[in-house]
Structure 1
Amino acid sequence: MARIKERTDKDGKPRYTAEIRLKGYPTQTATFQRLTAAKKWIQDTESAIREGRHFKTTEAKKHTFADAIDRYGSDVLPIRFNTTEQRNRRPMLAWWKAQIGHCVMADLSTATFAQARDSLAKEGRKGKPLSPATINKYFVVAKDILKRCVNEWHWLEQSPLRDGRVELPELPRGIVRFLDDDELARLTTACKESPNSLLYPAFVLAISTGMRQSETMNLYWREPENPPTETAWGVVNLSESCIILHETKNGDRRRVPLASQALVELQKLNKVRRLDTLLVFPSPTHPHKPIELKKAWLNALIRAEVNNFRWHDLRHCTASYLAMGGASMVDIAAVLGHRTLDMVKRYAHLSDGHIAGVVERMNSRIFGATP
């Protein structure tokens, strides 16, 4: 909706104040000496707003991208992310500030960020080209800043990075390494027979839940008075057969179900747990720090004759076994704690058998059983 108000100025000449009100957008006003100029401004501005080209609001002219980065660093980062993620994001914020921090918000465009993308690909942060995955991480941070400029601070009407307007490098397909049946049996036995009594329950818990290593190693029997601030951590709840992860890599709180052998192993540990620490997997010499299982893990891999396999690959095992068992991509993302399906698409091919069964059952209902 638009309207024009006419008034007479002190010099006796007419002035025309044009006003535009569109749902979901701030009201825009401008004053002109000629009625035709006011009408043309309304036409051009309405068109620009609907096409996402109208960033020339008062706030957008008042602030620079450096202002947005500073506010994000002081108001968002310490509250929204754990210490590790803060440490990862601060160099990216510094790069964005040095690269385009001088730009007024009203002047930010897709071209601005396309040039920044090319700079990351050619020169990187320290003169070395960055990988597609790292470039995408830089843009995750930039998108988050711009989203807050639009939704919370009202410094922009629309983000120049919305709807994928800047094409980012395509990520390479992730390598999925999971244990086949023989490898799983051998490694399970090797972990069970390890001199380190905590290796086997940690192994079972990791492969049963898909939790990250930091999440597994920083589990407590109850919430500590001073929980860790630099890593993920959680609390075991045996009465409800679950683990509550209070801090995770992406900052979300997550409930992890405990079932079968994982629940049994934690119940056993609870009966013989140490009284000088709340950690489920404490260090034998420093009870308030998690145990270091690297040596015991490597020895188990050697004994089981399992090659090219990391602890993190246990997480791939969980996802792969879920996919082969018929779990949907949404289910797998929920178990692993991913916000989107992008990270679990690498397991899609493992559910082909399940999908084929679904298609077969659909066709049987339509056309009847195949003779």
Structure 2
Amino acid sequence: MATIKERTSKDGSIRYTVEVRLKGYPRQTATFKRKTDAKKWAQQTEAAIREGRHFKTAEAKKHTFAELVDRYVKEVLPNKSLSLKAQGQQLNWWSDRLGAHTLADITPAMIVQCRDELANAINYRGTKNTPATVNRYLAALNHAFTIAVRDWEWLETNPVSKKARLKEPRGRVRFLDDSERARLLEACKQSSNECLYMCVILALSTGMRQGELMGLKWSDVNLKDRYIILHETKNGERRRVPLAGHGLELLQNHAKIRRLDTQLVFPAVKHKDKPLDLRRPFETALKSAGIADFRWHDLRHCTASYLAMNGASLAEIAEILGHKQLNMVKRYSHLSDSHVSSVIESMNAKIFGGV
């Protein structure tokens, strides 16, 4: 039962103190300026107590954010795909700033403050983090809080607001023209790293992500039937990648001299069970070729762009790259205008003929 008492404060204003008493539960009180607010709070509190929702906030006072991250990393992260394992590092970044706070104390404003710090931080490239990078950190945080609310019942609500996301610019389309591509491949051939040229060729010819390519195992490669099976992908689904042309020839030759003490196709020299790190050789090759504003991931943009310019549909590009949604590849649609025009011409000729 709820009781509302009217009181006059020292400054002469009226206050309404609500007291909710239900058998078997601690007494709950609150004070309001308006009686209507007091009645509304009483009704909501009584309903929440009867439904077992009200006292869950006590769990939020028992657990710190650091505990949430530790449990998430131990119980949830191992079940995610390899491409999402980076969320552990992202959550540790949040934990360094929010870890000492109880979950009850964390507010949307605190998260926004940390977000702005991340957005202004300088990364290893010497530039500020992009909105896309910041949003990936927010996505990791959001999922951790979602699990804490939905599965662990440590929180009533998720403090990560949808408004916390930063607006991202239109998708980047940076691909190599014929001259740039020739210069880069020649620089890769001259590299001291014997695998660089082959890896760049494979990246261009298949559209595989860097993590997918460097984590490749021989058990996933079928040279006889000319395809690769990717078990760990960004969208969590297996993907079949066809092999053809020069990339296939290079991989066939590489198989003849493969290392037998590891399953990795491209193992590190000193650590056979770790993937080869091509960051520095690739940056050196770019500099030697005189190519600016280009990253390894842009090789994937090259694949998509070349496919579009050679008549592939957006659906075909999405399937090759492993995108579930077509809006991820719409950025390449302007490159296939000639293909679209020919389709329109063909349709009109069939329908209207010589009319």
Q: Tell me the TM-score range normalised by the shorter chain.
A: 0.5 to 0.7
Question: What residue identity is the alignment partner of 2:142?
Answer: K
- Aligned-residue Cα RMSD (Å) equals 4.9
In 1, the alpha carbon distance for the partners of 2:319 and 2:72 equals 28
Q: Which runs of 5+ in 1 are unaligned?
A: 1-15, 18-38, 49-53, 223-234
What residue number does 2:143 align with? 144
Q: Cα 1:370–1:156, aligned 2, differ >3 Å: closer, same or farther?
A: farther
Deviation of 1:325 (Å): 3.9
In 2, the alpha carbon distance for the partners of 1:219 and 1:175 equals 26
Q: Cα 1:161–1:125, aligned 2, differ >3 Å: closer, same or farther?
A: same
Match of 1:62 among 47, 59, 65: 59
SS in 1 for 2:76: helix
Question: What residue identity is the alignment partner of 2:141?
Answer: A
What residue number does 1:132 align with? 131
**1:113 aligned onto 2:108:** yes
Q: Cα 1:91–1:345, aligned 2, differ >3 Å: closer, same or farther?
A: farther
Match of 1:176 among 164, 173, 178: 173
Indicate if the aligned counterparts of 1:95 and 1:125 stay in contact, CA closer than 8 A.
Answer: no
Deviation of 1:359 (Å): 5.7
What residue number does 1:153 align with? 152
1:164-313 paired onto structure 2 within 5 Å: 164=162, 166=163, 168-188=165-185, 191=188, 197-222=194-219, 235-248=220-233, 250=234, 252=236, 254-261=238-245, 262-282=247-267, 290-291=275-276, 297=282, 301=286, 305-308=289-292, 309-313=294-298
In 1, the alpha carbon distance for the partners of 2:73 and 2:274 equals 30
Deviation of 1:207 (Å): 0.8
- TM norm structure 2: 0.64
Q: Cα deviation per residue 1:57-89 (whole Å; 9 max; x = unaligned)? A: 443453347364453243223443656442233
SS in 1 for 2:221: strand
Question: What residue identity is the alignment partner of 1:255?
Answer: R
Q: Cα 1:333–1:178, aligned 2, differ >3 Å: closer, same or farther?
A: same
In 2, the alpha carbon distance for the partners of 1:294 and 1:125 equals 24
- TM norm structure 1: 0.62
Deviation of 1:140 (Å): 0.5
In 2, the alpha carbon distance for the partners of 1:221 and 1:359 equals 44
How many pairs were matched up? 311
SS in 1 for 2:228: strand
Deviation of 1:170 (Å): 0.8
Indicate if the aligned counterparts of 1:132 and 1:170 stay in contact, CA closer than 8 A.
Answer: yes
**1:102 aligned onto 2:86:** no
Q: Cα 1:340–1:102, aligned 2, differ >3 Å: closer, same or farther?
A: farther
In 2, the alpha carbon distance for the partners of 1:72 and 1:181 equals 47
Indicate if the aligned counterparts of 2:87 and 2:140 stay in contact, CA closer than 8 A.
Answer: no
Indicate if the aligned counterparts of 2:226 and 2:244 stay in contact, CA closer than 8 A.
Answer: no
Question: What residue identity is the alignment partner of 2:94?
Answer: M
